[in-house]
């Protein structure tokens, strides 16, 4: 019978076969206590000299941390154990005796841990964070599928920039110059004329020279796009989705949140609708809070932190000036210097987690805008076609997965929110 530790409560009194890794061992001569994990959870196992064969006990004595084993034994309830259950081992076999594990219980520096990321992933904390990440991915897919969005996978290798030309990673494509995708948005804009609503979810790349706690060079983005969706409806969709993600994590990741010692009260207190401030109101607010930002400037990381230490709920900043926003945003009909754009900022000091807006749907205005930006129109002909053949008002947004994970797990740095982080100085392991 195949057994998983997470199902221990259904096997009380039964003999089961457990396959896993020993991550801790304590011995009092004739009794050995093993902490074992199998991927689904952890359990304490006890092996007593006078209750097993001498072969089994010898194996247990030889064990060192991170060795793999098969243990046969009985599951018991054990209220004193942090896991609630214990296994009384009857038979034990070593599958692979580990070499001495380089990561110990003592504190290690972050660079050491990142160079050993392939081994660090096994720690309980990393296990918990990456399971929460998995739950967030599931919640995003579930939410969008329920809202009738079709997953349309955007390409990774692209001929043109979506988010400005300064952060492109070039790829030599059989002699042609192409780039790693910064966002699948432009392809989803093509998708909406076929599917109405669609989304992608995949790796995106930015050659960001920034060394902040919020920037990776490879990160996962979900882009969603919908035909006939106007700006205000977009904000409603975004907040509904973020709220759904938080509820799913609170409901399904109780153990993981406990392991990482996340105070869940700020998450439990999040309510709909989220607050909305225009860019102009945000600048005034920031100046009140002591920032030296001036009207016309983009928010820096510090501004986001100041703002989101003040606000306890997620906050939409809307209608940024066109001067520092991408070419595709539609202008506000009330003030053509402003765009129908928005960033969603997360509380507890976290800052931007999504960015989106309504798209320019007029061929000529879009073309003028692209010329102003000195984009190579030839690379975007296919994109301009979308305004020639059945254009429609439409909106969409992009969600940075690692930013959401970092906020929900309250991580110090975004690098812990992804299995193998890529930053300006790190592309291994």
Contact 151, 201 (CB under 8 A): yes
Residue 397 binds what, of ligand 4AD, Mg ion, none (CB under 5 to 8 Å, by partner type)?
ligand 4AD
User: In a 3-state reduction of DSSP, which class is residue 217?
Assistant: coil
Rank residues 351 and 355 by Cβ distance to Mg ion and give the closer one: 355
Separation CA 386–CA 231 (nearest Å): 19
Residue 354 binds what, of Mg ion, ligand 4AD, none (CB under 5 to 8 Å, by partner type)?
ligand 4AD
Contact pick of 403, 407, 411, 417 for ligand 4AD (by CB under 6 A): 403
Q: Which residue is nearest to Mg ion (CB)?
A: 355
Rank residues 20 and 396 by Cβ distance to ligand 4AD and give the closer one: 396
Residue 329 binds what, of Mg ion, ligand 4AD, none (CB under 5 to 8 Å, by partner type)?
none
Which of 194, 199, 167 has the alpha carbon at shortest distance from 181? 167
Stretch near ligand 4AD under the rule CB under 6 A, chosen from 38-46, 99-107, 213-221, 293-301 = 213-221
Rank residues 131 and 213 by Cβ distance to ligand 4AD and give the closer one: 213
The yes or no reply on residue 356 touching ligand 4AD (CB under 6 A) is: yes
CB of 255 to ligand 4AD, least distance (A): 27
Residue 293 binds what, of Mg ion, ligand 4AD, none (CB under 5 to 8 Å, by partner type)?
none
Site string for ligand 4AD, 178-207 (x = CB under 6 A): ----xx-x--------------------x-
The yes or no reply on residue 215 touching ligand 4AD (CB under 6 A) is: yes
Stretch near ligand 4AD under the rule CB under 6 A, chosen from 42-50, 256-264, 383-391, 393-401 = 393-401
Cβ contacts of 390 within 8 Å, gap of 6 or more:
193
Cα atoms in the 13 Å half-sphere on the side-chain side of 27: 11
CA-CA-CA-CA torsion sign (311, 316, 317, 318): negative
Rank residues 81 and 141 by Cβ distance to ligand 4AD and give the closer one: 141
Question: For the residues of 117-138, what is the DSSP string, one character each?
Answer: HHHHTTSHHHHHHHHHHHHHHH
Separation CA 185–CA 25 (nearest Å): 51
Burial class (CB in 10 A: 0-12, 13-18, 19+), 247: middle
Residue with tokens 């952060």: 167
The yes or no reply on residue 396 touching ligand 4AD (CB under 6 A) is: yes
Cβ contacts of 358 within 8 Å, gap of 6 or more:
229, 230, 231, 234, 329, 330, 340, 393, 394, 395
Rank residues 60 and 198 by Cβ distance to ligand 4AD and give the closer one: 198
Rank residues 221 and 246 by Cβ distance to Mg ion and give the closer one: 221
Residues 337-366 that bind Mg ion (CB under 5 A): 355
Residue 369 binds what, of ligand 4AD, Mg ion, none (CB under 5 to 8 Å, by partner type)?
none
CB of 375 to Mg ion, least distance (A): 19
Rank residues 85 and 220 by Cβ distance to ligand 4AD and give the closer one: 220
Burial class (CB in 10 A: 0-12, 13-18, 19+), 123: middle
Contact 222, 294 (CB under 8 A): no
User: In a 3-state reduction of DSSP, which class is residue 233?
Assistant: helix
Cα atoms in the 13 Å half-sphere on the side-chain side of 52: 25
The yes or no reply on residue 223 touching ligand 4AD (CB under 6 A) is: yes
Contact pick of 147, 248, 352, 361 for ligand 4AD (by CB under 6 A): 352
Contact 339, 381 (CB under 8 A): no
> What spatial distance separates the first Cα and last Cα of the chain, rounded to whole Å?
36
Residue 52 binds what, of Mg ion, ligand 4AD, none (CB under 5 to 8 Å, by partner type)?
none
Positions that interact with Mg ion (CB under 5 A):
355
Positions that interact with ligand 4AD (CB under 6 A):
162-163, 182-183, 185, 206, 208, 215-216, 219, 221, 223, 352-356, 396-398, 400, 402-403, 414
């Amino acid at each position: 019978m195949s057994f998983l530790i997470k199902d221990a409560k259904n096997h009380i009194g039964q003999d089961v076969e457990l396959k896993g890794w020993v991550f801790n061992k304590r011995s009092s001569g004739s009794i050995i206590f093993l902490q074992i994990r199998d991927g689904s959870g952890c359990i304490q196992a006890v092996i007593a000299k006078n209750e097993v064969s001498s072969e089994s006990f010898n194996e247990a004595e030889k064990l060192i941390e991170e060795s793999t084993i098969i243990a046969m034994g009985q599951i018991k309830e054990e209220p004193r154990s942090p896991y609630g259950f214990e296994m009384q081992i009857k038979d034990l076999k070593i599958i692979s005796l580990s070499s001495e594990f380089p990561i110990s219980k003592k504190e290690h520096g972050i660079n050491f841990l990142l160079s050993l990321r392939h081994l660090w992933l096994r720690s309980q904390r990393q296990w918990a964070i990456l399971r929460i990440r998995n739950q967030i991915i599931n919640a995003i897919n579930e939410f969008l599928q329920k809202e009738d969005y079709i997953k349309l996978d955007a390409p990774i290798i692209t001929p043109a920039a979506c988010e400005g030309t300064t952060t492109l990673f070039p790829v030599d494509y059989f002699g042609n110059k192409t780039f790693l995708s910064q966002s699948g948005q432009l392809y989803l804009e093509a998708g909406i004329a076929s599917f109405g609503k669609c989304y992608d979810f995949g790796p995106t790349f930015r050659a960001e020279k920034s060394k902040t706690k919020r920037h990776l060079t490879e990160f996962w983005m979900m882009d969603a796009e919908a035909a006939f969706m106007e700006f205000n409806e977009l904000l409603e969709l975004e907040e509904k989705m973020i709220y759904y993600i938080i509820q799913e994590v609170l409901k399904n990741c109780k153990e993981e949140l406990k392991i990482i010692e996340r105070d869940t009260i700020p998450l439990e207190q999040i309510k709909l609708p989220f607050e909305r401030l225009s860019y102009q109101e945000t600048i005034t607010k920031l100046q009140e809070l002591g920032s030296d930002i001036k009207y016309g400037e983009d928010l820096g990381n510090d501004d986001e932190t100041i703002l989101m230490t003040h606000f306890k709920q997620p906050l939409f900043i809307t209608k940024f000036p066109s001067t520092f926003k991408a070419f595709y945003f539609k202008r506000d009909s009330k003030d053509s210097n402003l765009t129908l754009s928005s960033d969603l900022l997360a509380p507890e000091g976290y800052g931007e987690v999504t960015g989106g807006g309504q798209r320019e749907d007029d061929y000529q205005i879009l073309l003028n805008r692209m010329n102003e930006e000195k984009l190579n129109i030839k690379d975007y002909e296919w994109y301009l076609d979308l305004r020639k053949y059945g254009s429609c008002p439409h909106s969409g947004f992009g969600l940075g997965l690692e930013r959401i994970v970092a906020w929900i797990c309250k991580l110090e740095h975004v690098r812990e929110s992804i299995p193998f982080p890529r930053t300006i100085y790190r592309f291994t392991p």
